[in-house]
Amino acid sequence: MARAEVFDHERGPWSRFAGAFQSRKTSRLAWRALLLCIGLTVFAPLLANDRPYFAKLRDTAGVRQALSLLSPIASSFVDSAKAAAASQPGSQATFEAEERALASRIDLLQGALDGKRSPAAIEALAALERSAKALGEASRAHDAARCETLGLELSKLASDARPTWESSSTSADGIVVRRSWPLFAALTSTDVTLIFLWLGLAGFPWWTRLVPARSIRSRLALLLVFALLAGLLSTLFPRGSTELDTSLWKARIAADAQSASVFPPIAFGPSETHLEDSMQAPRVASRHWCGTDALGRDLLARLLYAGRTSFAVAGLAAVLMVGIGSLLGLAAGALRGLTDTLVSRAIELLQSFPTLVLLLGLISLLPARAANSRWTIPLVIAAIGWTHIARLARAEAMRVHEMAFVRAATAAGFSRARVLRQHVLPNSMGPVWVAASFVLSGGLVLESSAAFLGFGIQHPAPSWGGLLADARGGDAWWLAVFPGLWLFAAILSIHLVGEGVRDALDPRTEAGLP
């Protein structure tokens, strides 16, 4: 089956565009390259993570850690309960937080211990739980004397918990062997939505054969709804509430000689540091295929997660720029008068400044809290970058507004709103869609430039510009080459896709003209 035949059953504008786009080899290759760049970042949690896909272990390290922290947490809970009973200012919030921390620790230990092999430890934890509950009730009743008595009892039970455990179970046999899927449990609903959305776009020509009766636009909408539904359903699955709240899976697995685990191809998280491996050059036989930075963090893992940051910022900025620019441009071109004057003056004002200089100036004027927000960069980029889209939309709206079919609709008595909605708007968006693809690459360049200069997304979240900034002033060539190559490949593929969109929307393409 020819590539364009997938879209031949319905020859609407979307189908004609898809067929024209797919008919060019350069467009297909560029689209696949862009999908690959985005796919590597979308699948980053599954490709690079310090959590295993699957783990079978007795969490001896986690239990020891929980036992060692049990007494300090209990002491803090006792102090906060006494303060809350005495109605000291601000003590109630601290008391509730400490109560939740102690209850969570007890629940985790109870879930990790085998009741048959360590009954004494289980009973000690149950007594500790009863004492903590009684102390909480006494604190809420503002019974200071009872809080004092129960506090002493709770502190003693907490300090005796570890010796009781060691005397009742001298080996790891007292810990339940658990099978878990830590990496999948750590995926957020956004991760699941993006994964299904990417899979749907990558396999669009294949899975759409199953729904041939629908239009291209309907199938895209169906894909979006299915991806959102998958992300929503992922929140309903249990997340392993009995597991210890720690990401030190490697240490926990190493503590049990009989454990088994399966880690991702890159068994490192983006912020996992190993100072003994700092500034390691890339080697195929090494654990770090692209080398490490000054803190021993795996560069390839950081590259994958940096792409998530850069693409997210650029994508959100592009959506906002297209929305703001097309709305203002179409309003100026169709309504004319004062609206056109105000929009045109705003465009001239913003375009009189260099874009990067204006971006950095606006960010520097913001308060520190607002400047460091993850939403600041895309919002500021959109606020200053909509002018190009607005100029195109304005010019196209003016051109379409003077065409014969628009005049005929007006003469037929159609309302102005109907004429704008059904005739001017649909026929003015062609150049806007072409420019939108180039806006994405522009947003990527601006985000990377701002991050390189220290005005972008701040640590610990990595971005491609931030990784390039880390390479300044050193001899580690890999810190600059790999982020630069990935950024270059992403921008080049976006530009080539934009050229394919432009050619596919060219009226001469359908007419077979050169």
Digit-coded pLDDT (tens) for 107-123:
878 777 766 667 777 88
Side-chain half-sphere exposure of 463, counting CA atoms within 13 A: 27
Please say if the pLDDT value at position 359 is more than 80: yes
The encoded tokens of residue 474 equal 């050193």
413 exposure class (CB count in 10 Å sphere: 0-12, 13-18, 19+): exposed
Tell whether 10 is covered by a domain: no
The closest alpha carbon to 344, from 361, 362, 359, 331, belongs to: 331
The residue type of 441 is: S
Q: Is residue 263 part of a domain?
A: no
Average pLDDT over residues 219-245: 76
User: Residue 242: is its pLDDT beyond 80?
Assistant: no
Q: Which CATH number belongs to the domain containing residue 140 in this structure? A: 1.20.120
| 11 part of a folded domain | no
Which of the two residues, 25 and 62, has the higher pLDDT score?
A: 25
Domain extent for 94: 61-172
Picking from 104, 137, 172, the residue at the C-terminal end of a domain is 172
Q: Please check the confidence at residue 354 and state whether its pLDDT lies above 70.
A: yes
Last residue within a domain, chosen from 172, 204, 239? 172
Candidate from 1-5, 43-47, 138-142, 225-229 with smallest mean pLDDT:
1-5
What whole-number distance in Å separates Cα of residue 391 and Cα of residue 389? 6
Looking at residue 6, what is its pLDDT? 45
Q: Is the pLDDT of residue 333 over 60?
A: yes
Percent of the chain at pLDDT exceeding 90: 26
Report the pLDDT averaged over residues 395-418: 81
Give the number of domains in the chain.
2
Is the pLDDT confidence value at 60 over 80? no
Residues 321 and 466 in one domain: yes
Distance CA 405, CA 415 (A): 14
- Would 456 be classed as within a structural domain? yes
In a domain, 290, yes or no: no
pLDDT in tens, 368-377: 778 777 788 8
Q: Locate tokens 């899927």: which residue?
A: 181
b/e per residue 13-39 (b: at least 16 CB within 10 A): ebbbbbbbbbbbeebeebbebbbebbb
Give the mean model confidence (pLDDT) for residues 249-258.
81
Per the domain annotation, does 347 fall within a domain? yes
Residue 261 resides in a domain: no
Q: Alpha-carbon distance 254 to 322, whole Å? A: 51
Beta bridge partners of 54: 262
Supply the CATH number for residue 356's domain: 1.10.3720.10
The last residue of a domain, from among 172, 207, 232: 172
Q: Is residue 231 situated within a structural domain?
A: no
In 3-state terms, what secondary structure has residue 55?
strand
